[in-house]
Amino acid sequence: MDITFTEEQEMLRKSASDFLATECPKTKVRELEEDEKGYSPEIWKKMAGLGWMGLVIPEEYDGMGMTFQDLTILLEQMGRSILPGPFTATVVEGAIPILEAGSEEQKRELLPKIANGESIFTMAILEPSGLYDASGIAVKATAQGDSFVIKGTKVFVEMANVADYLICVTRTKEGLSPEDGITLFIVDAKAPGVHCEVIPTIAMDKLCEVRFEDVAVPKKNMLGELDKGWPIVQRVTQKGAIAKCAESIGGMQVAVDMTIAYCKERVQYDRPIGAFQALQHIMADMWIVTQTSKYLVYQAAWMESEGVPCAMEVAMAKAYVNETYKWVTERAVSLHGGIGTSREHDIPLYYRRAKAADTAFGSTDFQRELVASRIGLIS
């Protein structure tokens, strides 16, 4: 056991932190929130130069061959800077499933494009029901000659507005169980019949409605096997949940640090408000839950990275951090007082993202239900 980061991991963390501090100040975050694309192609290009999109892609596909745990270190830093853009979508919903389930041809063609920053990916999972389980997948793909034709609507597809490829989760068969009969397709985002519209959301983070109007996709673009795609989606949502948690603990720590700094500086009744115990104990609690959140996430990330089965631990981390991130940022806004509610202040950027993070890859109650089964409650 060694619950500290290795020297290499510390270096990765430091370089990410330095890069993001320079490239992604909060003025940039606010600017990108109101930008049509929602990301900065210049920053994206520089990130590709640092090898970030290829971090977990093996060297033979032009990546850096690092671990999933290393990726979460990067994500924690991105969560600190709340960098807007298609990083998680491209890496966790694109590169990783292609790496795990793609054919050799798909890997050779697509992974280098991801690693070098040329292609943006995202995965279209949710449908208007908003369910992350297999019963929520109703968009149909029907075989027609050498193609499948996709018809239906996906929602909350992250950064689909700028994606080059969408991995669409479709139903190809009404099986015995909802999990049976699900197939994934890699769809060219510019293909005829793909229509994308940005949904206005709390984090202004470009979650999109994507309508597939009889979109023809060549059979060779199937990712994984016909009708057997659900486990790929599960692995994506599991890794996505950890990724979101990693970003969240980064954001929580910043919210705590900003609040402490503000309370040391803000003077009322002739003293810094941080000298009042009423506020000190709130900040102590904010720090405590940030600590518990961090190590719960680190442990889940380590298990995932090592290939140790961790469906329960990941669900626990997501269920827990969903709530702690919201609670910490709510307290942070409150302790900042009036100024904490303004558009110009940085703290509400985190408060809004905490809500967005909770909805991604499974809400608290969804995750708690997974936990309930895993701790042995019969269903």
Partner 1 sequence: MDFKLTDEQVKLRKEFFDVCEELAKQRPEGFTGLEGVYDTDEGWEYHLWCAKEFAKRGWLALGWPSEYGGQGTIMDKVFLAEATGYHDVPGVDIFGEGMLAPTLFAVASEEIKREFLPSIASGERMWCELWSEPNAGSDLAALTTSAVRKGDEYVINGQKAWSTGAHRAHWAFALVRTDPHADRKQKGITFILFDMKTPGVTVNPLLYMDTGHLYNEVFLDDVRVPAKNIVGEENEGWRVTQTLAAFERSNLGAIMAMHRQLEHLVDYCNETKVKGEPLARNPLIRNRLAQIACELWAAHALAYRIADAQSKNEMALFDASAVKVFSGELQARMAQLGTDILGPYGQVKQSKWASFEGLYEKWYQQSFILNISMGTNEIQRNIIAWYGLGLQRMK
What minimum distance in Å lies between the beta carbon of 293 and partner 1?
Answer: 7
CA distances from 249 to 13, 47, 201, 313 (A): 14, 21, 21, 16
Is 280 a binder of partner 1 (CB under 8 A)?
Answer: yes
To the nearest 10 degrees (0 to 180), the angle between helices 347-359 and 311-336 is 150
**Does 295 contact partner 1 by CB under 8 A?**
yes
- Tell me the closest approach of the beta carbon of residue 356 to partner 1, in angstroms: 20
Q: Is 268 an interacting residue with respect to partner 1 (CB under 8 A)?
A: no
Terminal Cα distance for the chain, rounded: 35
Is 5 or 175 the residue whose CB approaches partner 1 more closely? Answer: 5
Q: What is the DSSP string of 299-358?
A: HHHHHHHHT---HHHHHHHHHHHHHHHHHHHHHHHHHHGGGGGSTTSSHHHHHHHHHHHH
Which listed residue (234, 272, 311, 330) binds partner 1 by CB under 8 A? 272
Positive or negative, the Cα torsion across 180, 181, 185, 191?
negative
356 binds partner 1 (CB under 8 A): no
How far does CA 307 lie from the centroid of its chain? 20
Stretch that binds partner 1, among 24-32, 127-135, 227-235, 269-277 (CB under 8 A): 269-277
Interface of this chain with partner 1, residues 358 to 377, rule: CB under 8 A: 365, 367-369, 371-372, 375-377
- Partners of 141 in the β-ladder: 150
Residues in region 3-42 near partner 1 by CB under 8 A: 3-6, 9
Report the 10 Å Cβ neighbour count for 212.
Answer: 25
Taking each helix axis from N to C terminus, what angle separates 230-265 and 277-306, rounded to the nearest 10 degrees? 150
Min dist CB 281 to partner 1, Å, is 5
Q: Mark the segment that binds partner 1 (CB under 8 A) among 167-175, 233-241, 245-253, 311-319.
A: 311-319
**Which residues, other chains included, contact 233 with Cβ-Cβ below 8 Å and sequence gap of 6+?**
123, 125, 134, 169, 182, 184
Q: Which helix (H) or strand (E) holds 48?
A: helix 41-50
Distance in angstroms (rounded) separating the CA atoms of residues 214 and 26: 41
Nearer Cβ to partner 1, position 165 or 298? 298
Q: How far apart (Å, rounded) are the C-alpha atoms in residues 226 and 370?
A: 26
Which CB atom, from 133 or from 369, has the smaller least distance to partner 1? Answer: 369
Map residues 234-263 to x or -, x wherever contact with partner 1 holds by CB under 8 A: --------------------------x--x
Exactly one of 51, 235, 287, 334 binds partner 1 (CB under 8 A); which one? Answer: 287
Binding to partner 1 (CB under 8 A): which residues in 60-99? 69
Which residue among 25, 281, 337, 342 contacts partner 1 (CB under 8 A)?
281
Residues near partner 1 (CB under 8 A) are: 1-6, 9, 69, 260, 263-264, 271-272, 274-275, 277, 280-281, 283-285, 287-289, 291-293, 295-296, 298-299, 302-303, 306, 313, 316-317, 319-320, 365, 367-369, 371-372, 375-379
